[in-house]
Structure 1
């Protein structure tokens, strides 16, 4: 009588293992679908978007709001992380709306094979120029208001005093930028005319950002190269400390930066 019972127990254990494997596979598939089509997490390794996005911030980006382009399904490379790089054979975006000025975009510059994150400053057909540190859009100087002073530290540990401003775009949206000075290398530029189907990107940390002002490195970004729209921070830790080092959390997690929107503000 004991033999059938033993077989039943073995069968039950095997069934439980199989069910566990199925659940794990289903969870992985759901995560892949969410990451590929809906939302993808990113981290910030450089200072170019400080203070909006600090080194060590983790944020989630919306992949469907602007539709899908050639790099939308790439799990590609961001900072020092390299993963699957899958490029769609398309020349235009499908579905979704156009970005708004002020949106924060994850994108792939044409000369590069890594993801960048910057703010959308110029729309197709716009004329963009920086003169004495002031941004001009279509020959009109963009309003900015000084907020105060701060210390800014880049990824190499270099700390500088910066002036913090609230900048307001013509559409009424505003955001924080910072400048080391108004006479830096990219504070006086020629005029850029944004081609049709392209966008002009700039970092909020204006003197520490390689962006569309550097045509050989970033330049005008084709719409088809947009990947996602940054929406909210969900974690933040100083000095790019890996999040799995839980023992570092008490002294280094920036709790006040977690679960906050990074969208532009409206007046």
Structure 2
């Protein structure tokens, strides 16, 4: 929309004069073409290594700015990065980070390599998607089987709700991985799943039932729906060790649980 473009032009004109800024990247809904009239403008400022280090120390990695906005209620939602930060994001960034740059485009840059760095971040090779499917199916099986049964046996309301939420989250993430679709964040999961090509018939209803009434019956229904939908890359015999490795041994492996990857 023109008022978004006008606001972007003002920001780029100002920020490009700053010697600590080496690039300005547009992302979010405006970059994707899904913005509303009142949407904010999401920007990533790529800084010099020294300026990025200073921003880190001063808790200035993400902030809101309104100076230059040309429409009522709008604002710039700014995140900062460096070239090294983007390289590491392409190597080991979590999915929300990768998804945030899926539609990103460079507005201005002093670095000819910046566009390539930005384009590399959202990409994941097939073997990583397969690993993520296996990890999330292990979570689905443990939370939807063992933990929901334990909750019922011990009348543990907290555990039943915890297990149901993590079961549905894991099942949803497994389907995202099957469809080679990045996880954008919890608040986007339902709408992203609704737009997938490969998803079980009745998925949304089964997920809702499991969350509204967590228990063995609804958990089994949800789990069976997922298990019968695809030949997942994880045998039953591998399930427990995969779950333990990916969720309980982060202190040893140095990797965050798959839920946060």
With the length of structure 2 as denominator, give the TM-score of the two structures.
0.23
- TM-score normalised per structure 1: 0.23
Which structure has greater helix proportion? 2
Q: Which structure has the highest strand share of the two?
A: 1
State the structure with more CA Rg.
1
